[in-house]
Amino acid sequence: MKKQILFYAFFVFCLFNSCTKEEILPVIADFEYVIRDNGTVEFYNRSRNADTFEWDFNTGVNSTSIGPTYTFPNNQNYVVTLTARGKYGQNSKSKTIRITNKPTTGQYAFFTTSANSGFIDIYLNGVYEGRLTKYFNFGEPTCGSDGTLTINKPGGIYQLTARSTNGTTWTSNIRIVNGECTLTKFQ
């Protein structure tokens, strides 16, 4: 009988102290974000019970960083999805991010360093844009510098035609990049 009591006491002890189930912690994906300049977004991962992460930025680019920073290419809505994975499964969270602060135009500046070039008329895709009436004789100009003809246009490829009053003509394709300043020098 003594052995039977000891056995039951041991059994009860095990039942209440050492035979507990492992707690299952569900994976919960969550994130916050802050939109910075020029379409750049900082992501803050708030997921729980996960140890690996995959971000889909809806641009063909993914990241496995815990909290990435990503620059979106255009002004538009993007559905960003975070998938978090852990010991007990995976979970995803999607949010729509609206990008509105990307530049929509670029600048292009034309200049000459020759005092003998005369006035230069500038045409893009056959449309008159303006006339260079001065020459630039010191240093390297920037967009908007005195002595340049600076235009603002949406990014893209344009057919440039420039005609000098002394008879010289230049033609080429130019690329205007949104948010950037590009220079062309006529000689």
Coil, helix or strand at residue 145: coil
pLDDT at 3: 59
Higher pLDDT, 62 or 134: 62
Q: In angstroms, rounded to a whole number, what is the distance separating the alpha carbons of residues 107 and 11?
A: 83
In terms of phi and psi (left: phi > 0; alpha: psi -120 to 50; beta: otherwise), the region of 167 is: left
pLDDT at 143: 82
- The answer to whether the CB of 84 falls within 8 A of the CB of 31 is no
pLDDT at 81: 98
- The answer to whether the CB of 75 falls within 8 A of the CB of 102 is yes
Q: Side by side, which strands form the sheet with 31-35?
A: 31-35, 40-45, 69-71
pLDDT at 105: 85
- pTM exceeding 0.75: no
Start-to-end Cα distance in the chain: 113
- The answer to whether the CB of 81 falls within 8 A of the CB of 55 is yes
Q: What is the pLDDT of residues 78-135, one digit of tens each?
A: 999 999 999 999 999 999 999 998 888 888 888 887 777 788 899 999 999 998 887 7
Question: Could you give the domains of the chain?
Answer: 24-98 (2.60.40.10), 106-186 (2.60.40)
pLDDT at 20: 58
* Rounded alpha-carbon distances, angstroms, from residue 28 to 34, 75, 94, 176: 21, 30, 12, 45
pLDDT at 97: 97
Q: What is the pLDDT of residues 40-54, one digit of tens each?
A: 999 999 999 999 999
